[in-house]
Amino acid sequence: MKNNKIREMILGKPLDPLKSETRHSMALVAFLAWVGLGADGLSSSAYGPEETFRALGGHTHLGLYMAIATAVTVFVIALAYNQVIELFPTGGGGYRVSTKLVGPYMGLISGCALILDYVLTIAISIASGVDALASFLPLGFQPYKLWAEVFFIGLLIVMNLRGLKEAIQILLPIFLGFVVTHLVLIVYGICAHASHLPELIPSTMAETTDLASHIGWAGVAGMLLLAYSQGGGTYTGLEAVSNNVNLLAEPRVRTGKVTMIYMALSLAFTAGGIILLYLLWGAQPVPGETLNASTFKTIIASMGLGGEVVNQILLVIVLAFEAGLLFVAANTGFLGGPSVLSNMAADSWVPHKFRYLSTRLVTQNGILVMGVAALAIVWGTGGSVTLLVVLYSISVFLTFAISLFGLVLYWSRNRNKGTHWKRRWLLSALGFVICAGILAVLLVERFAEGGWVTALIIAAIAALCIYIRNHYRQTKQAIHSVDEVFASQPFGPNTEPVEPNPEEQTAVFIVGNSRGGGLHALLWVLRMFPNHFKNFLFVNARTVDYQAYGGEGALEQMRVEAEKTLEFFVDFCHSHGMAASSYLGFGTDAVDEVTRMCEEISHEFPHSIFFTSKLIFASDNWFTRLLHNQAALAAQRRLHLEGLQMVILPMKV
């Protein structure tokens, strides 16, 4: 009881998943979705443009091409991913697209890349945010940056365990502060050099021609392509909406598209505008400061708003909002990562427990895994943003490329009139060429600088997923064999229902989806205790997991399937003249719900003994226990503590 009180203080009181108003209150409207999901993309303007500009070296005049290319690329990817929202309105994004349109194993690669992507979203956003804060702190703070990053990741884990909307609303003022301050700086910074803008294009072209005379046009193109690819982190986060459509308010598709418009406009303006500021204000690297910090310092000083102290205060405010937005972006990893894990769990690539919701209706297991993995990567890389950007960009563009290739295949196969398939095919193909090109350049140019680590991590995750799925497949086949064995059990001649008598001896069976498992327990009890039990009750506690809670009509479908299974057991008993009844419950924790229902049954039927089946594997180890829910043992312990008798019947598979 004391632990429950402490848990409620930290995470909040439990929510009821069956109340429609709960789902409605947690759903995100387009504006909140822009904050919670779009912050990842917008925050990348804190490090993406800088990586692009640094890659140009001394040829900063090429920055104009990069500013234009960045803005155009944002819109191409965003519009292409709008199609994903249309085709997959229940969420899943890149993983679901790749699985359905390309194949399950390409879907697996996409899913593994997405998991790493969201872990790196947390890591790079926190690391970059701490860098922004360190830019206005003394150099003596540098050794403590890593500990600060660990603290902020831990704080976000707790916030997300409380619930996604609660976390987003806390971070909303920070998001708006970033938008306002950076809008003012970009607009002022460009307008202050308005007199230089007319000559910018001809002077850039002249300098480019001069450069080409020394290194050749192929050399110029290679330099531009490398800088363009190095800034690939700028486009990360654009897939977040398609991955999490199920979190949006109805109508979900429209809400998702509006959110994507917000994201594309804000990111194209901010990222492209910042590169233009670097170019116009002659940005130069300063030790201990980000390129944004040094550029913004120069712009604020030119405004003439006050003395050095006022300028420093304004710079601190701007960088604090930038760091804050990066922390909001890190929150996207805690929204998108568990969503991908849940979708992969539904396909048995990862342990099924990643589908389960906590009492706060969030995928607690996924949040914890993403947080711990982000802590490990931050610690392993020392929080180096340059290294994290390489890892990040490769994982992101691998997912982008596979997803957009899937869209190309889809429109090639569905050339229906009235669907504008040609336009959509061209958009998807353009997006695929851009993303595949960036991915190829990054792999070739940055393979030795961290690219190999990304490839190794994705390959390792994929290999583990294949092993897990093979185990689940074998287990499913074994359970199906059991079901087939018991499917031949004949029904009796009796057609009249027999009502249970509360004063008689009662056998209560906790059953699941498997009819074979339930009949196995029933026939075992009848054989071992002939004529002892007069009542036979069947209890099914269904877990409201991520898919059931987020999918349209999924909860009702789950109810119908569960009622049908329970009806089978009751009809079987009635046909043999045995008194029987059934009970159905729903909750986020099967053990809690089973315990509650069994306690109620014990009050109504005081002479009850509870039975359930448990899968027994020939080679049982910690890994199989991880993959399979140990609900039977947990329920037995809880019922024994309440003074109720429960027997677990082994069912070997």
Average pLDDT of the residues in 289-309 = 82
Answer yes or no: is pLDDT of 20 > 50: no
| Residues with Cβ within 8 Å of residue 102, at least 6 apart in sequence | 402, 405, 406, 409
Residue 354: beta bridge partners? Answer: none
Q: Quick one: average pLDDT of 292-308?
A: 82
Give the N- to C-terminal CA distance of the chain in Å, as an integer.
37
pLDDT score of 597: 87
Give the residue carrying structure tokens 């965003």: 78
- Of 174-178, 244-248, 276-280, 435-439, the least confident: 244-248
Task: Report which of residues 553 and 570 the model is more confident about.
Answer: 570
Q: Is residue 400 scored above 70 in pLDDT?
A: yes
Neighbouring residues of 519: CB distance < 8 A, sequence distance ≥ 6 = 486, 489, 569, 572
Does the pLDDT value for residue 164 go beyond 70?
A: no
**What does the pLDDT look like over 59-84, one tens digit per residue?**
777 778 888 888 888 888 888 888 88
* pLDDT for the residue 559: 79
CA 274/CA 49 separation, integer angstroms: 7
Pairwise CA distance, residues 437 & 433, whole Å: 6
Q: What is the mean pLDDT of residues 485-511?
A: 82
Tell me, what's the pLDDT at 5? 53
Mean pLDDT, range 414-433, rounded to an integer: 82
Name the percent of the chain lying above pLDDT 90: 2
Stretch 630-638: mean pLDDT? 75
Is pLDDT larger for residue 600 or for residue 15? 600
Q: Is the pLDDT score of 297 beyond 50?
A: yes
What is the structure's pLDDT at 358? 47
- Given a contact cutoff of 8 angstroms between Cβ atoms, the answer to whether 18 and 544 are in contact is yes
The predicted structure's pLDDT at residue 212:
81
Write the CB contacts of 322 (distance below 8 Å, at least 6 apart in sequence).
Answer: 46, 129, 132, 178, 182, 292
Q: What is the pLDDT of residue 7?
A: 46
Q: How far apart are CA 619 and CA 357, in angstroms?
A: 29
Mean pLDDT for 224-235 is: 74
| Helix or strand run (H / E) with residue 637 | helix 631-641
Q: How confident is the model at residue 459 (pLDDT cuts 50, 70, 90)?
A: very high
Phi, psi (rounded to 5 degrees) for 609? -125, 135
Q: pLDDT band for 466, please (50, 70, 90 cuts).
A: very high
pLDDT at 244: 67
Q: What is the pLDDT of residue 462?
A: 93
pLDDT at residue 463 in the model: 93
The pLDDT assigned to 44 comes to: 78
Between the ranges 301-315, 410-424, 526-540, where is the mean pLDDT highest?
526-540
Residue 304 pLDDT grade (very low, low, confident, very high; cuts 50, 70, 90)? confident
Name which of 117-126, 241-250, 297-306 the model is least confident about.
Answer: 241-250
Both tokens assigned to 558: 């789950």
- Tracing tokens 């704080």 back to the chain, one arrives at 155
pLDDT of residue 74: 85
Residue 486 has pLDDT above 70, yes or no: no
Assess whether pLDDT exceeds 70 at residue 32. no
> How would you classify the pairing of strands 608-616 and 506-510?
parallel
For residue 554, what pLDDT is reported?
Answer: 60
pLDDT above 60: residue 57? yes
pLDDT on residue 139 = 67
Handedness of CA 319, 321, 322, 327 (dihedral sign): positive
Q: What is the dihedral of CA 27, 30, 35, 41, to 10 degrees?
A: 120
CA distances from 558 to 21, 247, 359, 483, 561 (A): 19, 20, 19, 20, 5
DSSP letter for 451, please: I
Q: What is the mean pLDDT of residues 600-610?
A: 89
Q: Which residue has the higher pLDDT, 17 or 157?
A: 157
Q: What is the pLDDT of residue 169?
A: 62
Name the band, by pLDDT with cuts 50, 70 and 90, for residue 453: confident
Mean pLDDT of 295-312: 82
Q: What is the pLDDT of residue 65?
A: 83
Long-range contact pairs involving 453-460 (C-beta distance under 8 Å, separation at least 24):
453/391, 454/116, 454/390, 454/391, 454/394, 454/395, 455/394, 457/116, 458/109, 458/112, 458/113, 458/116, 458/395, 458/398
Higher pLDDT, 551 or 101: 101
Residue 306 contacts by C-beta under 8 Å, 6 or more apart in sequence? none
317-369 tens-digit pLDDT: 888 888 888 877 787 788 778 878 888 887 888 887 777 654 444 567 778 88
Give yes or no for a contact between 442 and 394, defined as CB atoms under 8 angstroms apart: yes
pLDDT(266) > 80: yes
Under the banding of pLDDT at 50, 70 and 90, the label for residue 440 is confident
- Whole-angstrom distance, CA of residue 274 vs CA of residue 67: 8
Query: What is the pLDDT, as a whole number, of residue 264?
Result: 83
Strands (E), 165-256: none
Q: What is the pLDDT of residue 93?
A: 66
State the maximum Cα–Cα separation within the chain, in Å, rounded to a whole number.
Answer: 99
In angstroms, the CA 165 to CA 27 distance is 8
Total residues found in the chain within this entry: 653
Q: Partners of 384 in the beta sheet?
A: none
User: What strands, in cross-sheet order, belong to the sheet with 535-543?
Assistant: 579-587, 535-543, 506-510, 608-616, 646-652
Mean pLDDT of the chain: 78
Please confirm whether the linkage preceding 17 is cis (ω < 30° from 0).
no
Please report, as a single letter, which amino acid is at residue 16: D
Q: Please, where are the H alpha helices in 488-514?
A: none
